[in-house]
Every structure is written in C-alpha cells, then in structure tokens.
Amino acid sequence: MLRSFMPEIIPFDDQTQQKKGKGFFYKGIEFVHHSDLPYHKTAFKRTTPGQKITILTLVVIALIGLFINWHATLVGIVAFLTIVYFLDLLFNLFLIVRSYTKAPEIKVSEDKLKAIKDNDLPTYTVFCPLYREWNVLPQFIKAMDSLDYPKEKLQVMLLLEENDEKTIEHAKTMHLPQYFQIVIVPHSMPKTKPKALNYGLQKATGEFCVIYDAEDIPDKLQLKKAILAFQNVDKNVICIQAKLNFYNPYQNILTRVFTAEYALWFDLVLTGLQSIKAPIPLGGTSNHFRIKDLFHVKGWDSFNVTEDCDLGMRLAKQGYRTAIIDSQTHEEANSDMKNWFWQRTRWIKGYMQTYLVHMRSPHHFVKNWRDPHVATFQLIVGGKILSMFINPFMWVVTISYFAFRPIVGETIESFYSTPVMYMGVFSLIIGNFLYMYYYMLGCAKREYDDIIKYGFLVPFYWLGMSVAAWAAVYLLIVKPHHWSKTKHGLHLNNKLAIQPI
C-alpha cells in the first residue's frame, strides 16, 4: 500500500541534497521540505489509494441506496448527521464543564519566577517566519526586546523567503539587535510556513524553542514560565502551548466576534481537552518545545497548511502530550472580511489535510495510550469540519419547517425517526443557544465584558465559516499546498482600537 502511495519522484543529486535538504522533483516541480518526515505521513498527497477506494465505495452505496429507496436512504443520512451534531454538542458541553471544574492549565507563581536566576536559564531559539510583512517587523523587534529573558541566551531567527526581496531589504536596514539572525529560506515548493520552520530548525542553537508570528506580542515572562512548566510536567509532555488572543478586539464587529471565538477556544476548549489528556490541535504560535524533541518527531509537515493542528495530532499518536500554560500572546485579529475569509479557508483546508493524513492509520492513536483517542480525534478534527457543512443544512430545514409547516412540515417529519427528531430539536434549539453561550463564557473568563453581547452574532460568523469550508474543498482539490497569505498590520492605522496589554 505504501509503495503505491509514494509519489514518482526524482531525488536530487548528493551535492544538491546537501545544499538544500530533503527534496525531490515531482512532475517537473522542485519540492524541498527540509524534514525527515516520510512522504506517506505528510499531506503531499491528498489521499491514499485505500482512502480513494473507501470514499468511492461510500458514494456508490449512497447512490445505489437512493436508486433503490431514496426515502429510506435519506432517513439514514439525516440520522447520521443529526447524531454527529448531537454528540459534538455533548462533547463540547463536557469540555466546558471540565475546564471550569478542573482548572487544568499550568500556572506559574510569581515567587518561582523571581527565584529563577539568569545563569540557570537555558538557551532559547525564537522562530519567526514572515512573508511580505515588513510593516509589522518594528513591532516584533520591540516585543522581543521586551521579553524578560537574558538576551545573550536568545536566538531570534527571522525566517525570510528568498523571493521576498522587499522584506529582506527592510530587515537588513532595521539595525537588528545582536541576538537577531536573518535566515533566508531557499526558494522551492511548497511555499509554506512549516517548510520555513523546518529549515530554521536545522540552524537553531537553543535548547528550547518557540514559534511567534511577526505581529505577536507575547507575555514578557512567557519564556521563563515555559521553562518552569517543563520542569513540573510529566516526561511525556513535550509541548507547552500558551494562550492566544488579540490586542485589537474593538477595531470592528469582526474583530469582536473573532476575539470571542479565540477566548472560547484557548480558555475553555483546549483546557478541557488537556483535562482528559486528549490530542490538542496546537495554536499557530506560542508553542514551546525542546529542540531535541522536535527533531525526534521530525519537525512539521511542510505540505500541511495547518501544520499546528497536524503536529498536535502527531504528538498524540506517538504517546506525547501538550499542556496549556496560563500565559498570553496577543496578536492581530483579522479586521478585513475578505482577509478573514481566505485565512479561514486555509485553516479549514489544513484541518481536512490533517484528517485525511491521520485517518490513514487511526489505530496509531491507541498504540501508546490506555484510553482510545480515535473518537476524540473524530470529534476534535472530523466533527469540526463536518459541522461547518451540516449547519446551513440544519438551519434551512428548521426555518422551512416552522415558516412553511403546512406545505413541507409533514415531508420533513417523515425523514426523522422519533429519537432522531428529539436529538435534532434539542441540538437546534438548546444546542445553538449553548454554543452562543459558550462564546459569551469565553469572553467573561477573559473579562471582555463589552464583547459578550456580540455572541448573538455568532450564527452569521458560522455561516461565513460554512462558505469558507466549501472554498476549502475546492482548493484542496486544485491547490492542496497553496498558502493563502494573511495580510497583517491592518491595525496599524487604527490605534484607537488597540487595547493596552
């Protein structure tokens, strides 16, 4: 099976291999991913032959069922979708309760922070991959300079693409501090953030490392907190994830709802997942590692456009865990709808890639764990994807049922058995209210009191995500490795919207 899945590749000669890292030519295109991660464990190919056969079989069965008895087949499909929706609702309720009752995130006391001496601190590498965003570079330099960490033990690596001449030119004229290092990533495909990180990993000199985006402003004590957290966790915890949120939550309505979403995800959902030792989709930044552990897990998947989620799942499959630390990194909330749409499309496409990659061998989730996490993976990744497609369908059915009940009510009822009907009604009425309430709870926990009321706009936000999901399907087919670049620095002309940190 693996032999048939492997791409027909032409390796580089030894000299080129030594210069540029792991790579190959495929259909006349040069690919260099700078990682030892095997191709069959990456998103280089969308699906394996076995997955294609499975998908085709399911489609054929559905078509045959519709031909033989279309009504019974639709009843079965509706039941399946409703049950998935209901289980996702219960699972999220369980995570929220766990997050509030267990307080699982790691908290580092001020006494421990004051007690740690600079001489005892290890060297730290900061990866900052950036592309065409020189305008936020001064802000990043200031943020790194503000870190409470001995600068002689810091290596801040600016990972710049070879063809991004403008950013390279600006970076070279900015009189960077001595602990900064400009690293030019050689031009090759894929043009992704994880490819740049893999290249930077080869040049890292720190014992520990963290990833920050160019617009990030981390907690000044975050590196010290991460070191102390590593000293007080189990040996199988090899990633410390800080919480993310935004410094421009009040810029417009979109940033307010986006802020509510991040507050829910990082303050309630991820901490809930940590409490049950489930696989955690990492945030795009502020995840801390020992360098040796990153080499051990073979870095990032250069072909996955949501490499953070993929790495979180890969850690779990190898028996490792991620812990959440009570430290914040503030970044820029997307304030432009078009910009947000393509960013969200990339995230969803990456989740799809992650799901397809890890469903090649789902049994590996239970290889080193006593409790199976195949089910939690299905809900965390697969369920999130599926819900984006289910939501509009469920809303249309519900609105049609109540608005045009004399005309279509009896027909709609015929597709629901009694138990499924109860689950559907509960999900649509109680469930949608609970989901909106979760956003409000996240805001309350972050003390964003002025944003709580914007939780009522969440259904419109979900609708935008559903449209983005269909766009992600299209791009997964035609441009699987294309990185839709998010424009940063949109907050710079609206400083009144920036909340003091």
Q: For residues 489 and 140, what is the distance between their CA atoms, to the nearest angstrom?
A: 11
Supply the Cα-derived Rg of the chain in whole angstroms.
23
Q: Are residues 55 and 179 in the same domain?
A: yes
Q: Has residue 369 got a pLDDT over 80?
A: no
What is the 3-class SS of 442-488, one letter each residue?
HHHHHCCHHHHHHHHHHHHHHHHHHHHHHHHHHHHHHCCCCCCCCCC
Q: Are residues 101 and 165 in the same domain?
A: yes
**CA dihedral of 202, 203, 208, 212, whole degrees rounded to 10:** -100
Q: Are residues 482 and 494 in the same domain?
A: yes
Q: Global pTM? A: 0.92
Q: Are residues 42 and 27 in the same domain?
A: no
Q: Are residues 11 and 118 in the same domain?
A: no
Q: Which amino acid makes up residue 343?
A: Q
Q: Are residues 104 and 21 in the same domain?
A: no
Weakest-pLDDT range from 17-21, 122-126, 274-278: 17-21
Please, are residues 344 and 468 in contact by the beta-carbon 8 Å criterion?
yes
- Write the CATH number for 110: 3.90.550.10
Sign of CA dihedral 67, 76, 95, 277: negative
Domain ranges, residue 9? 2-32
CB atoms within 10 A of CB 133: 19
Q: Are residues 152 and 23 in the same domain?
A: no
Residue 39 has a pLDDT of 83
Q: Are residues 19 and 140 in the same domain?
A: no
Q: What average pLDDT does the segment 145-164 reach?
A: 96
Number of domains in the chain: 2
Q: How confident is the model at residue 97 (pLDDT cuts 50, 70, 90)?
A: very high
Q: Has residue 44 got a pLDDT over 90?
A: yes
Q: How confident is the model at residue 101 (pLDDT cuts 50, 70, 90)?
A: confident
CB atoms within 10 A of CB 92: 20
Residue 5 has a pLDDT of 42
Q: Phi and psi at residue 465, in whole multiples of 5°? A: -65, -35
Residue 171 has a pLDDT of 92
Q: Are residues 271 and 411 in the same domain?
A: yes
Q: Which of 390, 416, 434, 106 is nearest to 275 (CA)?
A: 106
Q: Are residues 64 and 23 in the same domain?
A: no
Residue 3 has a pLDDT of 37
Q: For residues 78 and 84, what is the distance between their CA atoms, to the nearest angstrom?
A: 10
Token digits for 402?
A: 């109540």
Q: Has residue 14 got a pLDDT over 80?
A: no
Please, are residues 206 and 192 in contact by the beta-carbon 8 Å criterion?
no
Q: Are residues 9 and 89 in the same domain?
A: no
| β-bridge mates for residue 104, sequence order | none
Q: What average pLDDT does the segment 196-201 reach?
A: 96
Distances (CA, A) of 84 to 45, 89, 280, 378, 427: 27, 9, 20, 10, 10
CB atoms within 10 A of CB 18: 9
Q: Are residues 217 and 164 in the same domain?
A: yes
Residue 371 has a pLDDT of 56
DSSP summary character for residue 370: S
Q: Between 458-478 and 432-446, two packed helices, what is the crossing angle to 10 degrees?
A: 100
Please, are residues 497 and 213 in contact by the beta-carbon 8 Å criterion?
no
Q: Which residue has the higher pLDDT, 491 or 294?
A: 294
Question: 73-88: b or e for each residue (b if 16 or more CB lie within 10 Å)?
Answer: bebeebbebbebbbbb
Q: Between 49-102 and 418-425, two packed helices, what is the crossing angle to 10 degrees?
A: 60
